[in-house]
Amino acid sequence: MSSTTTFPNSARDENRTVHVREVGPRDGFQNEPETIATDDKIRLINALGRSGVKRIEVASFVRPDVIPQLSDGVAVLQGIDVPADVQRMVLVPNSKGLDNALGHRDLFEEIALFVSASETHNKRNINRSVQETMDDVMQMGKRILAEDLTYCAVIATSFGCPFEGAVPMDRVLGLAEQFAESGATEIGFGDTTGMCNPAYAHRFFAAAIERLPGVEITAHFHNTRGQGLANAYAALEAGCRSFESSFGELGGCPVPAGSTGNIATEDLVSMFHEMGVDTGLDLERVIDAARDAQSTLGRKLTSHSIIAGPVIWSPAS
Find residue 262's DSSP bridge partners. 222
Q: Characterize the bridge pairing of strands 216-220 and 55-60.
A: unpaired
Average pLDDT over residues 136-154: 97
Query: What angle, rounded to 10 degrees, do the helices at 130-146 and 169-181 form?
Result: 30
Catalytic residue from among 152, 196, 240, 253:
253
Average pLDDT over residues 109-131: 96
Task: Report pLDDT digits (tens) over 158-215.
Answer: 999 999 999 999 999 999 999 999 999 999 999 998 999 999 999 999 999 999 999 9
Local confidence band at 134 (pLDDT 50, 70, 90 cut-offs): very high
pTM: 0.93
Cis peptide bond upstream of 33, omega within 30: no
CA distance 214 to 185: 8
108, 57 Cβ separation under 8 angstroms? no
274 vs 315: which has the higher pLDDT:
274
Task: Report pLDDT digits (tens) over 3-50.
Answer: 444 434 444 454 689 999 999 999 999 988 888 999 999 999 999 999
Q: What is the pLDDT of residue 259?
A: 58
Percent residues over pLDDT 70 in the chain:
91
Domain ranges within the chain, ordered by starting residue: 19-308
Q: What is the pLDDT of residue 7?
A: 39
Q: How buried is residue 34: exposed, middle or buried, by Cβ count under 10 Å (0-12/13-18/19+)?
A: exposed
Average pLDDT, the chain: 92
Local confidence band at 149 (pLDDT 50, 70, 90 cut-offs): very high
Is 152 labeled as catalytic in the residue annotation?
A: no
Average pLDDT over residues 266-276: 96
Superfamily (CATH H level) for 19-308:
Aldolase class I (3.20.20.70)
